[in-house]
Chains A and B, each alone.
Chain A
Amino acid sequence: MKEPEVHLPFLLREDRMMENINTMDTLWVLFGAALIFFMQAGFTMVEAGFTRAKNAGNIIMKNLMDFALGSVFFWIIGFGLMMGAGNGFIGKLDLFISGNYDSNIPTWALVAFNTMFCATAATIVSGAMAERTKFSSYVLYSIVISAVIYPIEAHWIWGGGWLSDLTIGGSSGFIDYAGSTAVHMVGGTAALVGAKMLGPRIGKYAKDGRLRAIPGHSIPLGALGCFILWFGWFGFNPASSYGLSTAEQAYEVGNVFMTTNIAAAAATCIAMIVTWLRYGKPDVSMTLNGSLAGLVAITAGCNAVDPWAAAIIGALAGALLVFAVEFFDKTAKIDDPVGAISVHGVCGLFGTLMIGFFAREDGLFTTGKADRLLIQLIGVAAVLVWTLVTMYITFKIIEKANGLRVSKEVEIDGLDSAEHGLETAYSGFELKAND
């Protein structure tokens, strides 16, 4: 009996849809995927720079492994759950991806591209949970978010799920072009749950509850990370067009590049001004965070809005960021070493809702209709609740089974030594006597 075709590797199969494949589109998507991959370096440097040197090796491992594990488990399970033709809630179990997902780009290009988005959502959490999380617990979390939690909500938005079909009045389909909600709000919300359950780092709050700063050990590394993220975002947003072979796509991608950059720039300026007024001097680390806030906020609407609106959205995000960071530090007393909850969670949510006001075709300010805003609200709320519930369950189980936080001694000594056997990540900066 002839072997069923679906189990052959792609290059040997007869059901490849060659006539639809567009090589320019494929090049564009894969180029974008490479840029998005580089954002992993961005996250690693931001997080290493804004935390203490004694934990640098651990930060590196967390960021390296959430990408590596995410790639593997998204391939094994996640992609099928996200893109499989299931129902409105969930895709299909397509272990190791044997289905045909060709469109204008080949299946593996689609998989590789979407892997980068999944990995970005996963890696956001490492910053908020830095300096006190058991590495083994973080590994378990990475697997769960990449295999199940991210794919299912991404299915709703991008995999043909219920949010992509949601119609209210004249507006149809939840808009999240490159993932302010699907990637960033999800990551930021998971970060919120994790950081809250962990508790603050030792020394972050004095015995009387007073807030104490724990400065990062290398602002230059943090800055390098921000610039790398900004650079990588020029893949994250524009390549989500899934093509660059027609004039229409050229206009679309050009607009997305512009809105992306202008939102980031406006957010940076406003964040700087707000810190200048509030703290008396333009604050370096907060301004760097401001750039990211603008990038996160525009990620959903970079295609749906025009540059003038992107500048406003970015500017508002830059201001919102400063107040969000202070809120979590001083009011909510949730210790977030790098501001991940504020940058990704709060600004992701904010940016997605802003489409309801500023969308070219159906925004409240541009056309007076409220249908778009309503759709955006429903989508954001649904994904928010999904993430809060599933991440709470995930972290709770991990806490019970493995423990979430390291011991006091390990935290004080630094995770590099106890968790990784790494005496220091900065060997040349200290005296060492070797036998």
Chain B
Amino acid sequence: MKKLEIIIKAEKLEDLKAVLDAGNCSGVMISNIMGYGNQKGHNRLYRGAEYSINLLPKVRVETVVTAEEADPLIDTIVKEINTGNYGDGKIFIYDVQDAVRIRTGERGEEAL
């Protein structure tokens, strides 16, 4: 099993959810995060004084899928979510050692 950690712009969340639903993901974990990548933010004026915004709001979507589903899903995400602009985001892929369904105690891919 693989865990996908997908960092995207907030306005792309609905599109991403549509992709994941179509790919039969059994669940997602979504959090608001602040961060920066290579662009490192921009400057702003507040009441005439300059300050720098180097934390930008993003959304982190985590989901665990079977190893076979992972690559096709990643390809679909890259195709549907990319806008061609800086700040589109990243996907990190982790190996998952095991999974458990708390209600029944099942383990492995059946637990997804």
Contact = CB atoms under 8 A, between A and B. Distances in A.
B34 interface: yes
B11 interface: yes
B37 interface: no
Interface string B44-57: 11100001111101
B14 interface: yes
Contacts of A435: 51-52, 54
Contacts of A423: 44, 46, 53
A428 interface: no
A205 B11 CA distance: 15
A285 to B, nearest CB: 22
Contacts of B44: 421, 423
A210 interface: no
B34 A431 contact: yes
A433 interface: yes
A220 interface: no
Contacts of B54: 433, 435
B52 A430 contact: no
B34 A430 contact: yes
Interface in A386-435: 412, 421, 423, 430-435
Nearest to A411: B11
A432 B14 contact: no
A203 B14 contact: yes
Contacts of A421: 44-45
Contacts of A434: 51-52
Interface in B25-41: 34
Interface of chain A, main secondary structure: loop
Interface in B1-28: 11, 14
A432 B55 contact: yes
Nearest to B35: A431
Interface string A187-206: 00000000000000001000
A431 B14 contact: no
A411 to B, nearest CB: 10
Contacts of A203: 14
Interface string A320-361: 000000000000000000000000000000000000000000
A203 B12 CA distance: 11
Nearest to B50: A435
A426 to B, nearest CB: 11
B36 to A, nearest CB: 9
Contacts of B51: 434-435
A421 B53 CA distance: 12
Contact of A412 (B11, B46, B53): B11
A412 B10 CA distance: 9
B55 A433 contact: yes
A412 B11 CA distance: 7
Given A421-B44, A421-B45, A430 B53 contact: no
B11 A430 contact: no
A434 B45 CA distance: 12
A213 to B, nearest CB: 13
A47 to B, nearest CB: 22
A211 to B, nearest CB: 15
Contacts of B34: 430-431
A421 B51 CA distance: 12
A16 B44 CA distance: 53
A432 B53 contact: yes
Nearest to A212: B14
A412 B57 CA distance: 13
B91 to A, nearest CB: 21
A430 B57 contact: yes
A412 B87 CA distance: 14
B18 to A, nearest CB: 10
A66 to B, nearest CB: 23
Nearest to A431: B34
A105 B96 CA distance: 80
Closest 9 CB pairs of A and B: A431-B34, A412-B11, A434-B51, A435-B52, A433-B55, A423-B44, A433-B54, A431-B55, A423-B53
22 contacts: A203-B14, A412-B11, A421-B44, A421-B45, A423-B44, A423-B46, A423-B53, A430-B34, A430-B55, A430-B57, A431-B34, A431-B55, A432-B53, A432-B55, A433-B52, A433-B54, A433-B55, A434-B51, A434-B52, A435-B51, A435-B52, A435-B54
Interface of A: 203, 412, 421, 423, 430-435
Given A434-B51, A434-B52, A435-B51, 5 more contacts: A412-B11, A421-B44, A423-B44, A433-B54, A435-B52
